[in-house]
Chains A and B, each alone.
Chain A
């Protein structure tokens, strides 16, 4: 089973059309492990990007170098998945 230890979801707020275009480049490169949960669309709509731990530095560097503002929406995806599984198992026992 695929694990997501240390993988993060970044909540990205593009400031202008140019930044939206740059964000779309990440998608066009379509590295299978980096994927948009919410695609960059129109101004005022944030994008959410799942980034594996192995590429966090690179992707954050890309965003920083283009002054694209972001926050971390999910610090560790696997922690949420573990919690989700624990809750499902508990429900089954009940």
Chain B
């Protein structure tokens, strides 16, 4: 068995390497970390979630996912680094310890394993799932347009050949349905943080409409603090705001679904960078990106801990 101490967090890895590393993390932290299979992908790959828990039953929980768009490799790499940070930080870092003494954290590092495997084997630029679309030669659905939150509206496409294809119906993608089932089945998820790249933003609902969300002010203040703390590490500037007001109206997204289903603290990150590498962020930027993202994630998690609802 490989060791978490020899794993290169500063390199990109294949699906098998990351799944193998997840087993190692569980092995190294058996009383804290476990691996849960929440479903399977279109091509029958397992969908794994790492559960960080110090006990209790059905505690309040924080959900993080990375890699829902498979070509955004920096996100899966940040997911790995973050999972390791949480596992090794428990009992050492007071913030992590306080969070895990009261709440559980779930991390889905590879939310779109078929797409991720495809980026390694065939097309590095693949974004969508790998499901076949009836009546079209084009493959895949954009899993961040497939959620039942304004599904079918602006910023998504009905054309299966589009990168923004929403799919035939909400939750048509097994990868999306698995998360829906898990979060709804859990019933006590208080925060959803979905990590994407690139363009350096921290966004919150709504995406499908321009009206402010009922909790707009609180989410905005929290986002402001998070991006401010992120910038203290390397000076990386993030913008923040609602998806619709900050970038464009985008229907059927993860965070809108979560918010609509009662998860107040619903955010999506767009990690580095602007104007240099896009989805091809060099691996020497993995650790700096993860390092600067961490205080922002921690701000959100601590806020959730301190503001129960």
Contacts and interface: CB of A to CB of B under 8 A. Distances in A.
A36 B163 contact: yes
Contact of B283 (A45, A81, A84): A84
Could you say which interface size class chain A belongs to?
A: 20 to 34
Interface string B166-208: 0000000000000000000000000000000011000000000
Contacts of B307: none
B11 A91 contact: yes
A69 B138 CA distance: 31
B283 A32 contact: no
A54 B221 CA distance: 47
Contacts of B278: 9, 37-38, 48, 73-74
B282 interface: yes
Nearest to B73: A84
Interface stretch (B33-41, B82-90, B93-101, B116-124): B116-124
9 contacts: A11-B275, A35-B163, A37-B279, A45-B247, A80-B280, A83-B282, A84-B282, A87-B283, A88-B13
Interface of B: 8, 10-13, 121-125, 138, 157, 159, 161-164, 198-199, 247-248, 275-280, 282-284
A41 B248 contact: yes
Contact of B8 (A4, A36, A84, A94): A94
A1 to B, nearest CB: 6
A6 interface: no
A9 B277 CA distance: 9
B283 A41 contact: no
Interface in A1-59: 1-2, 4, 9, 11, 27, 30, 32, 35-39, 41-42, 45-46, 48, 50
Contacts, number: 71
Chief secondary structure at chain A's binding surface:
mixed
Contacts of B162: 27, 30
Contacts of A35: 125, 163
Contact of A1 (B121, B247, B277): B121
A2 B71 CA distance: 14
Nearest to A78: B124
Contacts of B123: 1-2
Nearest to B197: A37
Nearest to B162: A30
Contacts of A46: 275
Given A36-B163, A37-B279, A2 B11 contact: no
A71 B8 CA distance: 35
Nearest to A83: B282
